[in-house]
Structure 1
Amino acid sequence: MRSWVKWGLPVSVVVLLAGAGGGAVLADGLYRGPTRSVSTTKFESTDEVVAMNSPGGVAYTQGAAQHPDQQSVMLLLDNHFRSINDRDYDLWKSTVVESKWDELPEAKWRDAYGSTTDLDMKVHRIDPGPDGSLLAMLTFRSHQDVEAAPPDMPYRCLEWNLVYPMVVIDSGRSLRLDTSKLPNSALRAACQE
């Protein structure tokens, strides 16, 4: 009996610890999934062919173009990108929730967007969001002065992959962007020229 305790117990403990460690490594690999680099992450869509372009130059995949609220989304996004490209603060205000006006009063907005031009906008999907809102998954490029770029991405050209949450502000199905609804919903990288 004494020899089993002397050799069997330590061997059993080692086997149990090895099994637990192996299980933890296996579970980590199974549940965490593949790691992605911010510079290579793109929205995955089986429907990347452009089905239509809006008057404002925003492209829509087939699935996004067929969404029942696509016309409202198109009006909002056309005005939003045009407001930035044309430096039209009042038009920009009509595309975002009022809390954004306080966050970006006109002088601060002009500093942030004064050199920005957005292009190659493409809506990949439009999905339902919480409380009757919508989520538009899109990509675009922004060109700006290096000083106006995000501090952690000081480049003249950035590729954006993001989700724009859109909330209904009246019974007429008028939409506004509410970027505070989904913090950290944007992936960005220097343009691959």
Structure 2
Amino acid sequence: MRATARPGRSGIPWLKWGVPVAAVVLVAAVAAGAAARVLYGAPPSEGSVSPVPNTAGPGKEPGSSRVELSPSATEHPDHVAVRILLQTHFNSINLKRYDRWKTTVVEEKQRRQPESAWREEYRTTRDGSIRVLRIMPGPQDSLRVMLTFTSTQDPSDAPPSMQVGCLRWRVVYPVVRDSGGLRFGVGLPESSLARPC
């Protein structure tokens, strides 16, 4: 005996109204998201922080501490989390908040740089003009974040090979996933270049 389709169960009638309704819902959701982003900016996230105000004035080094992303970087699915991580990291340095800095790095990095050494290294440092150029995949579900930034410091606190008051950096930071979210891993060899401003 040949089976016959039950009325209302055929895929054809559903496709006639289901696909257009799904398309309308999708378009409405995208439009609402875009409107909310324009009106309110990126959604707040736990641990998100505002940039430290630039007290040096417009056009002064090191520039704004607000983390900016290139169009290429914003295409990465983790770009919001990476921006929040970087903003917290640089704000911690600018405000000399070791307790907050520790939340941005893995435990091994904390052990390598205890508070006394950290305070000595960053005692006169101020970072700004921070721009993420690319976010790339790394080994074992990690990321590599390529960015540029400017640091000002007492020349005696600059690297021994370039003891100047202002440096422009190009770095690649390793970023790993742990139970607390994204964190900076230990440094990569040959991963940073600096030149005087």
Same fold (TM over 0.5): yes
Task: Please indicate the TM-score interval, normalised by the length of the shorter structure.
Answer: 0.5 to 0.7
Matched, 1:141 2:154: no
Give the Å deviation of 1:167: 0.3
Trace 1:11-160 onto structure 2 (pairs within 5 A). 55-56=50-51, 57-160=66-169
Aligned residue for 1:178? 185
Matched position secondary structure for 1:102:
helix
Aligned-CA RMSD value: 1.7
Q: 2:105, 2:184 within 8 Å by CA — same for their partners in 1?
A: yes
TM-score, length basis structure 2: 0.66
- Where 2:100 maps in the other structure, the secondary structure is helix
- 2: distance between equivalents of 1:138 and 1:111? 24
Q: How far did residue 65 of structure 1 move? A: 1.4
Structure 1's consecutive aligned runs of 4 or more residues displaced over 4 angstroms after TM superposition are 52-55
The alpha carbon displacement at 1:83 in A equals 0.3
Give, in whole Å, the separation in 2 of the partners of 1:61 and 1:117: 22
In structure 1, the residue corresponding to 2:162 is in which secondary structure?
Answer: coil
Q: What is the CA-CA distance between 1:184 and the residue it aligns to?
A: 1.5
Amino acid at match of 1:127: M
What code does the residue aligned with 1:130 have? P
* Contact persistence 2:105–2:185 (CA under 8 A): yes
> Aligned partners of 1:71 and 1:63: how far apart in 2?
13
Provide, for residues 38-90 of structure 1, a one-character-per-residue CA deviation record: whole Å limited to 9, x for no partner. xxxxxxxxxxxxxx999430111111112100111011101000000000001
SS of equivalent to 1:150: coil
CA distance in 2, matches of 1:83, 1:122: 17
Give the match for residue 3 of structure 2. Answer: none
Contact 2:142/2:177 (<8 A) preserved: yes
Query: What does the per-residue CA deviation read over 1:155-182, in whole Å, with 9 as the maximum and x for residues that have no partner?
Result: 1101000101100012x6x1111133x1
Aligned residues: 137
Structure 1: gaps spanning 5 or more residues: 1-51
Q: Is the 8 A contact 2:158 2:165 kept in 1?
A: yes
**Deviation digits for residues 110-166 of structure 1, max 9, x if unmatched?**
110010000000001101111100111100000011111111111110100010110
Identity among equivalent positions (%) equals 46
- 2:170 aligned residue: 161
